[in-house]
Amino acid sequence: MRGTIFNLSALALGLLLSVGCKSQKPVGLTKIPTMTPIVKTVTVPGPAQPLGGGNPLPGGNPLTGGNPTGGGTTIVEIPQDPLNQALGNGFSGNEVEDRDTFLAQMVQFDYDSSAVRPSDLPKVELVAQHLIQNPTHKLLIEGHCDERGTEDYNVSLGERRALAVLDELLRLGISQERLRTTSYGEKVPILDGLTEAAFTQNRRGEFVLLRPAN
């Protein structure tokens, strides 16, 4: 009899603990979509500095070390939404990348947000104006995150950020065939360190202009 009461008490305690753990799950985080990712290897610029520390963050994992070699790094590229199958159809594969033209138009995002800030909309409008005036030019939109959160979560968040910028360009009249998105998650920080200043700079969307090869 005592054994039965003990087992029931242990079971009740376990249920309470499991409920307690669930209540500690970060609030307001978007669930990562279920899909088969396309994995490709790219070379990220410069060595990433090792990261330390470790408070629980979005996705449930602490901060982890970066790529100390700075060599080929696996980046997960999420397939486009089926509703956006026309995205990038105008790309020939021979375009020349220009990362400098729109460097000043880089947009920033709030923590765990994929909403384009109203203050950044004029930047997106300048990019759209250039594309309208140069119909042979195309655009790659990169989504980036800070180091907080799991790698998979940040890849998903980076893609949502890139798509949010793309939606603004579509609203301004740029056709889907001239646009493409990709997410680098937390893999390519522009400012190293575990400070709020670094986090703010790394939560960004970048425009890569693609010019005709000839």
Q: Which two tokens stand for residue 208?
A: 């890569």
24 or 66: which leads in pLDDT: 66
Digit-coded pLDDT (tens) for 77-90: 444 444 455 677 77
CB atoms within 10 A of CB 186: 25
Tell whether the model's pLDDT for residue 206 goes beyond 50: yes
Q: What is the pTM of this model?
A: 0.63
C-alpha to C-alpha distance for 78 and 142, rounded to whole angstroms: 12
Looking only at the bridges linking them, the beta strands covering 107-108 and 179-185 are unpaired
- Taking the mean position of all CA atoms in its chain, how far away is CA 64? 17
18 or 58: which leads in pLDDT: 58
What pLDDT is stored for residue 61 in this prediction?
A: 44
Share of the chain above pLDDT 90, in %: 55
What pLDDT is stored for residue 20 in this prediction?
A: 37
What pLDDT is stored for residue 94 in this prediction?
A: 85
Tell whether the model's pLDDT for residue 102 goes beyond 70: yes
Give the closest residue to 87 by CA, choosing from 178, 22, 14: 178
C-alpha to C-alpha distance for 45 and 205, rounded to whole angstroms: 17
What pLDDT is stored for residue 58 in this prediction?
A: 57
C-alpha to C-alpha distance for 205 and 115, rounded to whole angstroms: 11
Q: Which two tokens stand for residue 174?
A: 């740029």
Q: Domains (ranges, CATH) in the chain?
A: 28-211 (3.30.1330.60)
Q: What is the mean pLDDT of residues 4-24?
A: 42
Q: What is the mean pLDDT of the chain?
A: 74
C-alpha to C-alpha distance for 65 and 44, rounded to whole angstroms: 15
